[in-house]
Structure 1
Amino acid sequence: MRSVVGGVALLGVVAAGVAAAIGFGGGAAGDPAGAGTAPPASATVTRQTLADAETVDGELGYGPSRTAASRLPGTITALPETGTTVRRGKALYAVDGDPVLLLYGKVPAYRTLQSGVEGPDVKQLERNLKALGYTGFTVDDEYTSATADAVRAWQDDLDVAETGRVELGRIVFADGPVRIEAHQLDVGAAVQPGQAVLTYTGTDRLVTTELDVDDQRLAERGAPAEITLPDGRSVVGKVSTVETVVASGTTADAGTETKIEVVLTVADQKALAGFDRASAEVRFTVSERTDVLTVPVAALLALAEGGYGLEILDAGSSRIVAVTTGLFADGRVEVTGDGVTEGTTVGMPR
C-alpha cells in the first residue's frame, strides 16, 4: 500500500481558480474584488516546513539473497547451519571433503587461476591472500610464481592438495561476510556443476522496497529516508543500491513487470535487533522547504494575465494579490507575495 503525500496536480486547481477569479471580479492584481462577492470559505496563511514526500511499504531483513551454485561435481560433505556467518577464508560448504572457500571481491570466480593468468580476478585473489596473512608476492593483476608459492602455503594450511593454482569451483567471491539463509541440498546429496547448494545474504540488517519505474526519482543513491519499524520507532536509513528488476505478476496471467528495487542501510543496527524478517514503512523525502508561508492549494486563483493570486480578506473587504508559488505538497503550496504574511486570511473558492 502506498500513500502519496506530495506532488499535487494543478489542473483542477487552475480550473477552480479561473472560475473564482471571474466570480470575485478578479482583474489586475491588487484591485479590490467586486462588492457582494464574499468567498464561501476562508483559510489562514501559515508558516511551516513543507515536504514533498512519499511513503511505501518495505521489508526489514538482510537484503536480497544470493545463490551459491557448485562449479564442481561430487557429493556435499559439509554445510554451515542456517543463520551462521561465514567470513573470508572460511568454508561455504565442502564437496568430496574439500572446502569451497569464501573470499571478498566484486568479480565472480569464472576460471582457474594459475601462473601466467592476468586480470582483475587475479588481483582480487592476491588481496585476499594478503588479508589472510600470506606474503612474498606483489598485489597486482599478474599470477606469478610468487603468487603460486603463496597459494601453496595457503593450501598446506587448509590441508588440501598443494597445486599452486586455484581451480574453478574452489572459491566463491562475495562483497563481504555472508549469512547463510537456506540450504538447497543436504549433506550427502550428489551435486552437479551449476546446481544450487545454498542461498546467503549480507550480515547487516537492511530494508528493501520496490518502487514503480515512474517513482525512481524518489530514491537516489546516498539519499536519507525515514524508516518506521514494526514497534513504531523510527530510524534513519540511507539508500545503498537502486536496481531495476523484473518482478512476476501476482496471478498466472499477469506476466511480469519492471520495478525499481531499493535497498537501504541503517547505521543504528542495535535498533533493528530482533527483527529478522518484518514489515516496515519507508518515507522518501524528495524535497523540503523549511519556515515557508503556505496556503491550501485550493486557495490559488488563476489570473487573467497569467500566474496565480490569492484573495486577501481584511476588515470586510478583499483584494486579489499576485503570488509566486514554490513547493506543492500535502495539499498545500508555498507562496510569497506583497501583503502575504503569517496569519493573513485568504478566500477559498467554492
Structure 2
Amino acid sequence: MTTNTPTPAGQSGMDPATDTVTAGPGRPRSRRRPLIAAITMAVVAVAGSGVFLLYDRPAPPAAPAGAAQRPSATEKVVRGDLVEEVRAFGPVRFSGDRGVKNRIRGVVTWTPAGNSGIGRGEKLYAVDDKPVILLRGSLPAWREFAPGMADGRDVLALEENLAALGYTGFTVDDEYSQKTAAAVKRWQKAVGLPATGKIELGRVVFASGPVRIDKAVARPGDAAEPGAEILRISSAAQHVAVEIPVAEQDLAVKGAKTTIMMPDGSETPGMIASVGAGRLNKDNESVVPVSVRLSDPDALKNVQNTDVQVVLKRVEARDVLSVPVTALLPADRGGYAVQVVQGTRVRLVPVTTGAFADGRAEISGSGITEGTRVGVPKL
C-alpha cells in the first residue's frame, strides 16, 4: 500500500488536480482525477506505540503561534468506517473472445451478422447450404459420432444436448447406442440435415453457453477449408478491463466485490474475476490488469465503445471517530492535537490517532465525541 503523510492544518493538502466528493455524513473527501486510477491517501501507523511512519513529505512544523485562536473553518467529528479506495477507468468488453475453426470442406454459404446471438441448437454458419449447429459443452468435438464408437465424454455431452432440445427415447450416458442414433435422425431431419444417424466431425460446435458473434472472418462464397477460422465469437457476458497501479494491487483480490459507475451516473455491483501479472502500460507505469465481472449480466448490454469507472474498496477501520487529516496539529510534546471549538471557546486537545484512509484520520481523546467541532483550514 502506498503511504503518505497526513497534511497538518496550516499546510496545503489540496492537489490542484482534485475535486470534492461526499464520503459520508457531513464529511468532504478529496479525490484525485486519475489517468489510470484515483488513489486515496493512507498513512501507516506503528500499532500501540503512537509513533507514525511518515513518507514523501517533510516532517510537521512546530505548533503554529496562536494555535488556540479560533480557526477559519470547522468540521464535525464523524463516526463511521474508514475506507480506502482505488478508482480505475476501463472499457466494457465481451468475455471469452475466440475463433471458430471450420472442419468441413466445401463452400461457405451463410454466416451470421456481427453482434448477433446464437443459442443452443441454432445454426452457427453453413457450408454447402447445410448448417453447422451450436451445442452446449466444454469439450470440443474431436471425432465423428456414430453407432459402435467408443464411449466418451463427448457422447455424454451430445446426448445431454439432444435431451435438452426435446429429443428423447435413450439413456443419457456416455454410450452412443442405436436409440441415440434414432434420436439423432429425428434431430437431423428437423435442422435440415440428411437423417443418417451419424454426425460428421465439424457439424456441431460445442461452447459453454450462448455466444455472441463478433465478426465473420469468412463470407458466403469463400472456400471452407478444414482448420480455417470462419468466425470470431465471445460469450454473451461482459466484463470491465481496468489497470490498477502495482502499489495498490493488494486491493485487487479475485472474488472481491466492486462497484461499477455507469456513464449515466448509476451504479451496479461487480466482482473481480481475474487479476493478471504486473506489467508496464503505454505510459511506462507499473500496473496490474484486472477483469471485473458484473453481478447483473444485463447491466452493460447497452453500454459499448465507452469506459466505465470501477471502484475497489477496503475497510481500514470500522465504526470509529474520524476527522480530516488537515485538522491534525503537531502537539508540543509530540503526537497530534486538534482544535476543539465550542461556541466562542477554542482549546487544543491531544488526540491518539489510529487508521488513516481517504484523507481522514481515526482519533480519540478527552471530550472527543461524534459531532464535536474541530478546526480545519478554510478552503
Question: Could you say what the CA RMSD is over the residues aligned between the two structures, in angstroms?
Answer: 4.1
Matches of 2:217 and 2:168 in 1, distance apart?
A: 37
Q: Is the 8 A contact 1:62 1:203 kept in 2?
A: yes
Q: Deviations over 1:131-190 (max 9, x none)?
A: 111112222333334333322322232332444343332211222222222111111111
Q: 1:303 to 1:222 in 2, by over 3 A?
A: farther
* 2:163 matches 1:130: yes
Q: Which residue of 2 aligns with 1:345?
A: 374
Q: Which residue of 1 aligns with 2:362?
A: 334
Q: Deviations over 1:230-262 (max 9, x none)?
A: 3x32131322732648999759xx9xx995341
Which runs of no fewer than 5 residues in structure 2 stay unpaired? 1-34, 46-50
Which of 275, 281, 305 in structure 1 is aligned with 2:303?
275
Q: Is the 8 A contact 1:310 1:347 kept in 2?
A: no
Which of 240, 260, 264 in structure 1 is aligned with 2:293?
264
User: Which amino acid counterpart does residue 231 of structure 2 have in structure 1?
Assistant: L
Superposed displacement of residue 101, structure 1:
0.9
User: Which amino acid counterpart does residue 202 of structure 1 have in structure 2?
Assistant: S
SS in 2 for 1:118: coil
Q: 1:52 to 1:144 in 2, by over 3 A?
A: farther
Equivalent pairs, count: 325
Matches of 1:74 and 1:245 in 2, distance apart?
A: 43
Q: Is the 8 A contact 2:131 2:192 kept in 1?
A: no
User: Which amino acid counterpart does residue 120 of structure 2 have in structure 1?
Assistant: R
* 2:39 matches 1:5: yes
Matches within 5 A, 1:139-178: 139-178=172-211
Superposed displacement of residue 192, structure 1:
2.3
Superposed displacement of residue 6, structure 1:
2.9
Matches of 1:123 and 1:159 in 2, distance apart?
A: 23
Q: 1:67 to 1:310 in 2, by over 3 A?
A: same
* 2:77 matches 1:46: yes
Which of 53, 73, 84 in structure 2 is aligned with 1:14?
53
User: Which amino acid counterpart does residue 151 of structure 1 have in structure 2?
Assistant: V
Q: Is the 8 A contact 1:18 1:303 kept in 2?
A: no
Matches of 1:104 and 1:247 in 2, distance apart?
A: 36
SS in 1 for 2:182: helix
Superposed displacement of residue 72, structure 1:
2.8
Q: Which residue of 2 aligns with 1:228?
A: 261
Report the TM-score when normalising by structure 1. 0.74
* 2:142 matches 1:101: no
User: Which amino acid counterpart does residue 127 of structure 2 have in structure 1?
Assistant: V
Q: Percent identity?
A: 31
SS in 2 for 1:111: coil
Q: Deviations over 1:191-212 (max 9, x none)?
A: 32322111123335x3421334
